[in-house]
Structure 1
Amino acid sequence: MNKKNLLIVEDEGVTALEIQNKVEEWGYSVVGVLSSGEEAITVALDKRPDLILMDVVLKEKVNGIEAANIIKNSYDVPIIYLTAYDDEKTIEEAKITFPQAYLLKPFNDQELKLTIEIALYKHQMEARLKRSEETYRTLAENAEDIIFIISLEDRVDYVNKFAANILGFEPEDIVGKLRQNLFPMDISEKQRKSIDKAIETQSPVRSEIKMALPKGEMWLDTKIIPLKDKNDKIFAVMGISRDVTTQKNTEAALRSSLNEKVVLLKEIHHRVKNNMQIISSLINLQSDYATDESTIKMFEDSKHRIRTMALIHEKLYMSEDISLINFSKYIKSLTTKLLEFYSLKSRLITLKVISDDITMDIDSAIPCGLLINELLSNSIKYAFPDGREGNIVIKMHINDGYYVLSVEDDGVGFPEEIDFMNPNTLGLQIVQTLAQQLDGNIELETNGFTRFKISFKVENS
């Protein structure tokens, strides 16, 4: 640890020598022992001691207080006054130089030692605090953010240069003014609410405000922070505002662009649905010229498949989210339409739909919807011949990251002569193809019932 250098200014020779011996004994270095204020000024400015022990009344013209004042105007040094004078006038004069201590003669060694130690430590802490304050002030003054401090009386205690320039002023024009007089009433009221909330909750409060400023309109993202004293009592609030105008304009442009794309995609879904209706109508017209039963049946099946796909686009057109469809609602709409078409056959059939709340993208929804169309149509047409009563249950669940679709009926059963894995009927061939398109697995269970079960992976979108 470096020795601290002390300067002793004392016009009583014996006292000065005693002080010198003591401080050197305590580990300090003495750079001079002087008896006049003039000498003290010269040596202090030359040697720059770490602390000065200064007698108030000195020989010659310049007394200790005057010498201390001149020295402290040149550099910051802790001063301890050593004096026999404790009158109010002398003490008041000494206060002007902000001494670290005022030690009355006679004093003992312990008093002097502790006073020197405390003075050096206090000065070191003050210097550190001052450097810290200067650092933060430099940061604040050079920041391209609006930084300000508002007192509890709603006056501006501090504002950095950037903030003042934004408002069209210099800092000295704003400090001390009432905050509410610097802004329009609506802006001032919004600021007041944030300040009051920060004080009430004793926590930072964040807000965004659009302001009309001399340099144009600006969006400010402001954080209000309560400032507390050592007793944890709020004495002011500090605000930091950042210009987010570019960000806000970009967000607005993106929202506008997104809205345009949503409208466009909805229009596409609408037109696709309408085009599918036209195709369905053309098939309907063409089927009027068909005479044999199998051809008419083929036309009807094609129309159901087209309507199944058209219903997907209809749901997407009406949906808030044009990328996802509420598939549980879609199943109910699809099965209702199919039952309406097969009204004569389905009159004695009870249909039950059990589904989780599932949303699905269009790439999965169309093939899955076509699967339901094919399997439900097959059950209605073939499982209940000759007006037989029965039940059809459609289930759609999510299990361990997989969609699980099952279509089950308690009709006459699946024909034994048909090879399910290599079918020769178009409907079952379509079912196999759609399952492969979904990269899924299809199973057929027959045990007093017929159940088709298809499982395929849930895609994270």
Structure 2
Amino acid sequence: MANEKILVVEDERIVALDIKHSLESFGYVVPCMASTGEDAIQMAKRYKPDLVLMDIVLKGDIDGIEAATVIHNNCRIPVVYLTAYSDERTLQRAKMTEPFGHILKPFDNRELRTNIEIALHKRALEQEKLFNNDSWINSLMDNVGDAVISTDASGRVTHINLLAQALTGYRLEEAIGEPVDRVFKVICETTGKAVPNPTKKALREGTFYGLCEGTVLISKEQNHIPVDVIGSPIRNIHNETIGAIIVFCDITERRDIERSFLDYIIGPGLSQTVNH
């Protein structure tokens, strides 16, 4: 269990330094310490620790539970709470964030180390399950004949296949973790106005959702590409929506063929009027 990175979030500096010293004596790495919820979120994104030790009561606008929610949803980093407060309301709020542990202050080093080792072991087991599941989904996406982007429950990109990379202009490493709206931008061809991303409805309502004809994808290079699009929810074995998939394809060639046919039938140039 040596060399794992642990972020310490504690607003009492003496307590934070004591925890840091204990963790380093166990063989863990403490890349940084945070004293507010806002700092905790930023440091989690920057350092990508293996675990966060989070004090529930923090100074500032964001308490430990709110910070843990953001870190859990956006970074998939497990959190173990440190707190002297054990009232039922606080515990219920904390449970909503699916913590990997809960340590009541004051605690000794053995209790601290045991909880950390259990949390890291649980994380390793869950990562293996997620890896196997994600690998299967990603492999399926990479072998589909259309462009595909998948997201997590918060609408952030978890995978983008080669066809989707080619059309959007975003490489895999650029897209992962980004809000899907930033990678997959679509507008109405007629009005030029933004079109609601299909993942929003898929995530919100758990249903398939297709975009109407005349939808145009704006690539990273600002190319305008007419596309057919459908969004679909991803569900787990409990039928809970845990993400969404966008499937889309470039219909430029198809539209050119349709226009050529209309030109032949009704006269050159008139097909543009019919299509609009």
Query: TM-score if structure 1 supplies the norm length?
Result: 0.30
Which structure has the highest helix share of the two? 1
- TM-score scaled to structure 2, two decimals? 0.49
Q: Which has the larger radius of gyration?
A: 1
